[in-house]
Amino acid sequence: KNITFNYSNSFLKKHEIENSRRSVLEAHKMLHNKTGSGSDFLGWIDYPISYDKKEFERIKEAACRIRNNSQVFIVIGIGGSYLGARSAIEALSHSFYNVLSQDKRQGPEIYFVGNNISGTYLKHLLDVIEGKEVSINVISKSGTTTEPAIAFRILKTYIEEKYGKEGAKQRIFVTTDKIKGALKELVNKEGYEAFIIPDDIGGRFSIFTPVGMLPMAVAGLDIDNIMEGAKIGREEYMEEDLYKNPCYQYAAIRNVLYNRGKIIEVLVNYEPSLHYMSEWWKQLYGESEGKDGKGIFPAAVDFSTDLHSMGQYLQDGRRHIFETVLNIENPREDIKITDDEANIDNLNYLSGKSMDFVNKKAFEGTLLAHVDGGVPNLIINIPTMNEYYFGKLIYFFKKACGISGYLLGVNPFDQPGVESYKKNMFALLGKPGFEKLRKELMKRI
Ligand code: PA5
């Protein structure tokens, strides 16, 4: 079975889609011939076949060691060095993975840090891991990002105090650039086991590199199948013809909708385990397309939870939104609704039905209501959520993002905007080299 794309509720006319055909073909050529902007960062396109197979085996070996000697695994990273691993682990593991009994989980508890600057968060984590065997994976392509660097400094001290310098060396894993950056220098000095983030793959496109794969393997996910899904996705979504390529259809249609004034795309899921998939997707599209005063604003909701909050706006608020629904055709687990003789809650009409049956009716009912409310609804049907389809879906979104960015006329592979806050923060913190900016900013606050 395949991932399919349904745009029958997009409100678009046939000719609007036909009109995108030529521009999609051009975008396809720009990507594959590396003639568009940002073409130094296209390593992700062929990565599912070109990846370093020896390093991949080393990831599995390291994961095996970590699973054997650690009760806790801490992943330090932010943005593209964080969201991919978390989205995979949440989408594919038990919903309550960290609190499952050890025999059911068979791997360490996994925590993500360095994705914020909250002392409360890190202090609370230290409370949770007290007395447990710990390993850490610090992930940063630049090796200089402040949030993970602070978290790593604190945890490195913690782990060295606990195991001694030599012991810590066996428990610190670094994922960073091949040659440059502060983390790489530390690897050279301390002799930590290191994994490489290729030069030509930007953070938000790096999920299949060791950035995502080491934490996924530690969680016990089948990374061979994830890569297989990505590999098949790469083949299928290379098709030039818009009408035969669901990935390109998604890219094209979201741009037609954008040009019609639908400037916000809301990614919808009906499975709580997909919350972080949406976070990953938001970064991918927000950072790739939001530039030069343009771009769809990527938002996300978890249904049916958010039908009781954001549902009102979607149904009835300003009409500048379209929705893209992730429809998992067959859930990973299901449970039947019990019968109750007294039927005081009047739910006996659902006795014996599965929760997924009800969930699907919520999806269908919402779709029709929102379409009636004038909200275009696109549907991505995913046969089930397993490693293979996860890999394929991620590739689908990455490829669509590259095409979509070129259709929009931006460089989808840079992120100049994320630097501005950093400069101000460094200046306000008194980082050497930022003295002039500090003076200017201090006058304003
Ligand atoms: O997509 C990106 O490039 C960013 O989100 C980065 O991944 C993020 O800023 C973290 O960067 P680094 O891996 O250099 O610490």
pLDDT per residue over 77-96, tens digit each? 999 999 999 999 999 999 99
In this prediction, residue 72 carries a pLDDT of 98
Mean of all residue pLDDT scores within the chain: 97
Interatomic CA distance for residues 375 and 263, integer angstroms: 12
CA dihedral 142, 143, 146, 151 (to 10 degrees): 140
Is the full-model pTM beyond 0.95? yes
User: pLDDT for 353-373, tens place per residue?
Assistant: 999 999 999 999 999 999 999
Query: What is the CA(140)–ligand 1 centre distance, in A?
Result: 7
The verdict on the CB of residue 415 being under 6 Å from ligand 1 is yes
- Dihedral class, residue 409 (left if φ above 0, else alpha if ψ from -120 to 50, else beta): left
Q: Cα of 81 to ligand 1 centre, how many Å?
A: 6
Kindly give, in sequence order, each residue whose CB lies less than 8 Å from that of residue 234, ignoring residues fewer than 6 positions away.
45, 46, 48, 49, 395, 399
Rounded distance from Cα 303 to ligand 1 centre (Å): 29
Q: What is the mean pLDDT of residues 223-234?
A: 98
Enter the ipTM.
0.98
pLDDT at 298 over 90: yes
- ∠ CA 61-65-71, nearest 5°, is 140
176 close to ligand 1 (CB < 6 Angstrom): no
Average pLDDT of span 34-53: 97
* Residues tagged active-site: 287, 422
